[in-house]
Structure formats: structure tokens, C-alpha cells
Amino acid sequence: MKDEELSVLFMDYLTGIKRYSPATADAYLHDLKDFRAFLNKEGFGSFKDVSRRVAKFYVADLAGRFQSASVRRKLSTLRSFYHFLVEENHLESHPFLEVKPPRRKKQLPDFIYPEEIETIFETIDISSEKGLRDFLLLELLYSTGIRVGELTQIKLKDIDLDVRTIRVHGKGNKDRYVPLGEMLSETLRDYLLRTRPNLIKHKDHKHLMVNLRGDALTTRGVRHILNQIILNAGTHQHITPHTLRHTFASHLLSRGADLRSVQEMLGHAHISSTQIYTEISKEDLKEKYLKAHPRARKNNEN
């Protein structure tokens, strides 16, 4: 049976038996056409002639042309196709069965260097009520690593300035206690004594963070305030609340904090979620070494 006929049978199987949508079936067909073009170009014969060696060669070719997610999707198509051919007795063996996709590239989270975050803090005028509120917002996100949704849920009863902790309501209704540094505790105390009462006026709610109308701050409001802070600081970096969470974790680890403690403070259920930040701290250390050590780079001068 010719390749075109096998492709038609496979499409009928996808739409008729598997009940895939026409759009999904077309995507599978597009992947088969790409594979067919590869076989023609390299002179490897028909679909039935494909060996495991050819399958591995094709995956390597895909890795040179596409991102890893696209490679994995195309490989999934071919695994389904050859599984169908084996099940329908058109082939005896499955050439793609044990062929592994390329490893996903580890994407390191964005973070800010300590001197950059300090520069941003210095641009905020804390003499005004708005300025102190904005300063506290930035310091809470950076100094505790809490999520933006967790920040907006903090109520007055969650704060204990005597023992310097905040109770945070995290994912899955799990509460955790996050420590407050001395500087953050002072900012919080000042905000609670003079800033929040003036902003909230006669509003009746117990949320810590409020907007200029005295209402509880929303996650959208937090992002808007942070964008304004970054704009006023004149930095060209794209900084989000999650960037500050990444920064919190990487700065702790680069200064010797243990992984389990950082996991607890971030509220991660699994330590594997926290381990990505050890890579950031390694990159940070490498960058500092390259900048500071006299023999870290080749001297190109004669």
C-alpha cells in the first residue's frame, strides 16, 4: 500500500474512530507530510521502510528546525501513526517506539540583581502616603516572595509585628508563616500607624493593602502600581510580581539559605519547584566571578 493510501486510512481512523476534530486531523496530516518530505529528500524510501535509525535521524533533523515543544508534538504524531500501522497489520515493528524526544531546555526564571532592586527602592518618595504604600508593596513582594494573589488577601489579623511574621493564605487553602525582616517590619509599622488610616478613611474592611480610594487592592491594582514604580525608576526591565518572587528566592539561595527553608517560605508543595532557583544562584555566582576575578577572562591585549 502506498504512503498516500496509508495517510488516508490514518486520517479516517482519527476522525471516524478517535473522533478528532478536522483541525486536529489536519495538524497530524501536516506532520506526516513533513516526514514524507524528509524521507524523499534523504532517499529513505516509504513509510514502511523506516527503521529505528531513520526515526532517530528524523528527530535530530526536527531538533535543528523547530523548538522542543514542536518536536515533541511531531514525534507524538508519528508514534500514533506507526502504532496504527502495526495495529492494522501494515507493519510488524514500530520504528518510533523507543525514540526519545530532545530534552526540554531549562528556562531560568527572570530575576533582578541586588543593586538594581536597591536603585528601584531609592526612586520611591516615601514622604507621601502613596509613596509609602508603594514602597511597602514592593518590599512585601521582594522581601517575602509571596504571590500577588497572596498579597491582596493579607488582612490586619494576619500580621504579628511582635514576632515579625505574616500569615499567608496560599494555594490549596494552605496557610504558612513568612518571616519579616527588620526593615520591612518598620515600614509596615509606619504604614499601619499613619498611612493606611488616612487612605482608608471611613471604609470598613480589614485588608492590609488599599488603593487611593481606600478600597482593598486587587491583583490588577498591584500590577499597575508596580508598573508605575518601574516606569518612574527609569529601568527598561519588564518586572512583574512573579519576577520579584523569583528574585527573593535567588537572592536567598545565593547567600547561603538552605533549599528547604526557601521552599517553605515560597509555599512550594514539592522541592523540585524550588530547585530551579539554585540554577539562578549559580549563574549569578558565575557572572560575579567573570566580572571580578583578574584571570576569569583572556586578556586580548598584546
d(CA 172, CA 26): 39
Cross-sheet strand order for the sheet of 165-169: 159-160, 165-169, 175-179
Q: Between the CA of residue 257 and those of 114, 250, 273, what are the distances in Å? A: 16, 10, 16
* Dihedral angle computed from the Cα positions of residues 115, 154, 267 and 180, in that order, rounded to the nearest 10 degrees: 50
- In 3D space, the residue among 129, 154, 142, 234 whose CA is nearest the CA of residue 183 turns out to be 142
DSSP string, 149-180: HHHHH-BGGGEETTTTEEEEE-GGG-EEEEE-
Is 277 considered catalytic here? Answer: yes
Is 147 considered catalytic here? Answer: yes
Among candidate residues 53, 171, 220, 255, the one labeled active-site is: 171
Among candidate residues 245, 255, 289, 295, the one labeled active-site is: 245
Is 48 considered catalytic here? Answer: no
Is 245 considered catalytic here? Answer: yes
Among candidate residues 164, 176, 242, 282, the one labeled active-site is: 242
Among candidate residues 79, 176, 268, 282, the one labeled active-site is: 268
Cell of 143: 522581601
Q: What is the DSSP letter of 49?
A: G
Among candidate residues 28, 58, 82, 277, the one labeled active-site is: 277
d(CA 241, CA 151): 10
Among candidate residues 74, 94, 133, 147, the one labeled active-site is: 147
**CB contact at 8 A, 267 and 176:** yes
Q: E strands along 50-205, which residues? A: 159-160, 165-169, 175-179
By annotation, the residues acting in catalysis are 147, 171, 242, 245, 268, 277
